[in-house]
């Protein structure tokens, strides 16, 4: 397979680039609004239920919110690509901060044997996010690849991470409620931390596929990613 450097990409017209930039900002703004509400609900419900996983999920929402704000900051510049590396590093740092906090709280909960209470609000929130996040991530990824923006693609990966977190959070909450498996809650937190560390490392290194539209192809979803970059 050929690497991204072997693909000759067509230049975007100024009008098309501007339109895609506006779409990226709209998606980032939607992410900020949704994650703000999600963070408030998750942290509040987590504190009430003494759930490390729920509080961690809310903190992840804050990280995602900050990621959206970083995208908005980047695209406020006339040439947003000049802020690409700075934006990626900021996103990576937010991932690392989240991973450190969640790891500490999860281990503390496991060592102390702290059992989380049932949380109907948390279960409903996780289920809703499991529906909303994949759609938002797909739209962000598509826009980022069409723009050739690594930061927008990294932001889409962060949103996709929320989908995985929603799934494991929902599983942990249900196991705790139905079977009394209190340890499922902090274990979910450790899963969150591991995924956050991986995504933070990828963002720091710039390992996100942002190859843009391929020659003669208008759908950026035909651009496939692997460890070597973008493939045609």
pLDDT at residue number 127: 93
Tens-digit pLDDT profile for residues 39-64 = 999 999 988 888 877 887 888 888 88
pLDDT at position 229 over 60: no
The DSSP bridge partners found for residue 224 are 231
Phi, psi of 190 (to 5 degrees): -70, -35
Place of tokens 């045609």: 232
Strand positions, DSSP E, the chain: 224-226, 229-231
pLDDT band, very low/low/confident/very high, at 114 (cuts 50, 70, 90): low
pLDDT at position 224 over 50: no
Q: How many structural domains does the chain have?
A: 1
Mean pLDDT on 132-148: 90
pLDDT at residue number 217: 33
Mean pLDDT on 139-159: 84
pLDDT at residue number 207: 59
Return the exposure string of 102-127: e unless at least 16 CB atoms fall within 10 Å of the residue's CB, then b. Answer: bbebbeebbeeebebeebebbbebbe
How many angstroms separate the most distant Cα atoms in the chain? Answer: 59
Question: Distance (Å, rounded) from C-alpha 197 to C-alpha 131?
Answer: 24
Residue 12: give the domain boundaries: 4-231
Q: Can you tell me whether residue 230 is helix, strand or coil? A: strand
User: What is the CA angle 124-48-111, rounded to 5?
Assistant: 105
Between 7 and 155, the more confident residue is 155
Asked whether the whole model's pTM tops 0.75, one would answer no
pLDDT at residue number 49: 86
Answer for the pair 216, 11: CB distance below 8 angstroms, yes or no. no
Please list, in sequence order, all residues whose beta carbon lies within 8 angstroms of the beta carbon of residue 2, skipping any fewer than 6 positions away.
Answer: 231, 232
pLDDT at residue number 119: 84
Q: CATH number, domain at 59? A: 1.20.1510
DSSP state of 64: H
Between the alpha carbon of residue 72 and those of residues 32, 112, 148, the distances in Å are 10, 41, 16
Question: Distance (Å, rounded) from C-alpha 68 to C-alpha 72?
Answer: 6
Q: Can you tell me whether residue 231 is helix, strand or coil? A: strand
Q: Can you tell me whether residue 225 is helix, strand or coil? A: strand
Question: Distance (Å, rounded) from C-alpha 133 to C-alpha 177?
Answer: 24
Between 221 and 117, the more confident residue is 117
Mean pLDDT on 139-164: 84
């Amino acid at each position: 397979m050929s690497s991204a450097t072997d693909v000759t990409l067509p230049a975007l017209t100024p009008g098309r680039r501007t339109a895609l930039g506006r779409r990226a900002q709209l998606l980032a703004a939607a992410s900020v609004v949704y994650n703000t509400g999600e963070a408030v609900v998750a942290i509040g419900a987590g504190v009430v239920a003494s759930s490390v996983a729920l509080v961690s999920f809310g903190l992840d929402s804050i990280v995602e919110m900050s990621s959206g704000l970083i995208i908005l900051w980047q695209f406020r510049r006339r040439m947003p690509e000049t802020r690409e590396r700075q934006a990626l590093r900021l996103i990576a740092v937010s991932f690392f901060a989240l991973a450190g906090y969640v790891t500490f709280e999860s281990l503390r909960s496991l060592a102390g044997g702290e059992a989380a209470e049932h949380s109907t609000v948390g279960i409903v929130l996780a289920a809703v996010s499991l529906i909303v996040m994949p759609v938002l991530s797909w739209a962000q990824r598509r826009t980022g690849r069409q723009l050739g923006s690594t930061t927008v693609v990294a932001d889409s990966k962060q949103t996709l991470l929320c989908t995985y977190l929603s799934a494991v959070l929902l599983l942990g909450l249900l196991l705790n409620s139905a079977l009394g498996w209190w340890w499922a809650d902090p274990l979910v937190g450790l899963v969150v931390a591991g995924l956050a560390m991986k995504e933070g490392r990828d963002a720091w290194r710039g390992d996100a596929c942002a190859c843009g539209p391929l020659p003669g192809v208008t759908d950026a979803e035909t651009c496939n990613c692997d460890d070597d970059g973008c493939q045609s």
